[in-house]
Amino acid sequence: MNPSCNLFIVGPTGAGKTSVGRRLAVHYGLSFIDLDQEVEQHCGVDVGTVFEVEGEAGFRQRESAQLDALSQRSGVLLATGAGAVLAADNRRWLARRGFVVWLQASIEQQLERLERDHRRPLLAVPDRVARLHAMAAAREPIYRELADLAVPGHHGSVGAASERCIELIDAHWERESPFPSAHHA
């Protein structure tokens, strides 16, 4: 059942928002959208290039514009970028326009999952551990406040994480939802 017309996934870099999001979209019959990919498609270049040319501030403006437009759609699962929650407008749109799921991941999990990933501009630093800790300190309180549901990140595979998300989402909706039940795929 899905009482909300949209499902939004937030969480740190490497939490599995895109991988898990794709599976959840299929399960709930929603159109999958990856916010970073939409920014890239709209700009015609990758996120790294946007950062190089416009800096983080320019990227965040583009990200917010896309998030606003995409979150107004109905029937979508939107996997946000890890930092999309930093802007107050973004948080307001996410909270008002859908059900927000926070995929959690420890610093150790992030390091393991991102070991070979060199495409993320904010992690192009000599000390990734320090950067991830700083990002977590700034963002985790925001994720906690924004999320309708937090999903612990201790699941090994994408399949296991997806199944656990479905269980937790369904259990939450069964307990909390004032909406009538609907069947899902």
Query: Residue 80, annotated ligand binder?
Result: no
Name every residue whose Cβ is closer than 8 Å to that of residue 91 and which is 6 or more positions away in sequence.
Answer: 85, 142, 146
What phi and psi values does residue 79 have, to the nearest 5 degrees?
A: -90, 115
Query: Residue 95, annotated ligand binder?
Result: no
Provide the residue type at 95 as one letter.
A
Structure tokens that stand for 20 in this block: 């898990």
Place of tokens 């709930």: 28
Query: Residue 113, annotated ligand binder?
Result: no
Query: Residue 60, annotated ligand binder?
Result: yes
Query: Residue 18, annotated ligand binder?
Result: yes
Measured distance CA(66)–CA(134) in Å, rounded: 26
Query: Residue 14, annotated ligand binder?
Result: yes
Query: Residue 57, annotated ligand binder?
Result: no
Measured distance CA(154)–CA(132) in Å, rounded: 18
Query: Residue 19, annotated ligand binder?
Result: yes
Query: Residue 55, annotated ligand binder?
Result: no
DSSP per position, 3-57 = -SSEEEEE--TTS-HHHHHHHHHHHHT-EEEEHHHHHHHHHTS-HHHHHHHHHHH
Query: Residue 15, annotated ligand binder?
Result: yes
User: Which residue ranges make up the annotated binding site for Mg(2+)?
Assistant: 18
Residues annotated within the binding site for substrate are 36, 60, 139
Which residues are annotated binding-site positions for ATP?
14-19, 120
Bind-site residues:
14-19, 36, 60, 120, 139
